[in-house]
Amino acid sequence: MAPAQSALRMTDLLHSLPVRLSLMASIVGGFALGMADRSAGSEGSLRETPIVKAIQNAEASVVNIQGSKSVKGEAADGGRPQLVNGMGTGVIIDPRGYAVTNLHVVQDVAKIEVTLADGTETTAKLLNFDPSTDLALIKIDAKDPLPVIAIGSSHDLMRGETVIAIGNPFGYQHTVTVGIVSALHRNVPVNGTQEYYDLIQTNADINPGNSGGPLINIDGEMIGINVAVRVGAQGIGFAIPIDAALEVIADLVASSQRQQVSLGMAFRGVRDSEGSYLEVASASLHGQQPSADIASGDRLLAVDSQPIRSRLDLELRLLNRQQGEALNLEIERGGQKLARTLSLMGSPLAAASSKVNLDDLAWERLGIRVTELRAEEIRTASGSYKGGLKVVAVRGNSPAAQRQIQVGDVLVGMMNWQTPTIDHLQYVLQSPEFKQSPKVKFYLMRGTMTYIGDLQNTAKATR
């Protein structure tokens, strides 16, 4: 009976085997199907992480920059000029090809060679720059509209949040590195004459060639511009916060226009729970009255159907426009959206006027905007200053920028006078001595140190 029972059991097993094999095939097939559902690019794939999506959203607007420049050789070589190759990164901020990068990437470069994300090779032209912040505006030669980076904000960055750097380190194009915000508000000295202020510190690998490229958040928005590395250190890189960079870039765009134009209004940036926007601070700027029904407190939403969220957006819309050209504005007043048409005016800086505003005068002749500080707010060893004027903006390629005056510096004197108040500075700028001097001596505080230098007097140069 034992053999028969064994045979029976074997027969039962053989009869059941196709069923089990069929069941196994279903399980394996289902597993394979599940794997297929999780393949790269499929909806819900575990591989398509927020980091991957952020890179995909941003990388098309990042360009790689190559160029060569002539530098003075070593004494051992007789000091003869030598040709050196450089590399860096840029970020497209306007579909017409306007991009931002670091000044040291493109300064003195004879031919700026640019490679777009799709591999297209082209060239770019340096339009404007600001030495004090190491930022530069370039125009890429492109036939078709280019993808633009999404711009976020740096005001609410958190230590530990994920950030991503995209760049051209050592010539390896479109390299991405991931890290976190390590620290905020870092001041980083570069050499004896230049120091970067209020930088973002990150441990996302930043190497030579990343300069000028974006530091983006997990949403793919640019929250900084990579600018520096700490020589000899690993996992320490720095970026210019985007909120500070936007103001400088807006000035670079504004002062690069061939014909200065104005809406005849003053704006202020506002940030609330809904985001950032521009609000009309004054609807009648320096005696110029807009030809449309616009009032202080109105929110500017769009110009010619293009959204306006910052002063940079507005300056880009005004770029290369002509005086008298009509713009279609969308504004918001009391929660209601209104349409307005406004003709562009000549810029107050370009208009001849016997009653010149000091803010414009200092901006035009020196390239700075200032605000008053009390004597007790100035850190000085001597305590001899009665007050000073804190620099809040520096115009690119201006006399102040060329002398590396930086935001945060405090102007305490000019020529033979102290400048404790705006009235004192106005007196100096309108004095006969100032108007007749090709160069003017200035005194400024940076930290607790006093620096002395000479500014080129544009008022004298243009007489």
Q: Which residues are catalytic?
A: 104, 134, 211
Question: Residue type at 450?
Answer: T
Burial 1-23 (b: 16+ CB within 10 A, else e): eeeeeeeeeeeeeeeeeeeeeee
State which H helix or E strand residue 48 sits in. Answer: none
Closest CA to 136 of 149, 120, 125: 125
**Using N-to-C axis directions, what is the helix angle for 242-255 and 311-318, rounded to 10°?**
20
Query: CB count, 10 Å around CB of 430?
Result: 13
Closest CA to 238 of 191, 272, 203, 275: 203
Six token digits for residue 102? 């670091």
CB-facing half-sphere around the CA of 404: CA atoms within 13 A: 14
Do residues 433 and 415 make contact, with C-beta atoms less than 8 angstroms apart?
yes
d(CA 184, CA 187): 9
Six token digits for residue 94? 């306007």
Q: DSSP 3-state helix, strand, coil percentages of the chain (rounded to 5)?
A: 25, 40, 35
Q: CA-CA distances (angstroms) from residue 99 to 92, 278, 366? A: 4, 22, 26
Sign of the CA dihedral 63, 64, 67, 71? positive
Compute the C-alpha angle 374/423/194, nearest 5°: 60
d(CA 315, CA 252): 9
Burial 117-138 (b: 16+ CB within 10 A, else e): beeeeeebebbbbbbbbbbbbb
Alpha helices by DSSP H, listed for 319-379, are: 358-365
3-state secondary structure of 211: coil
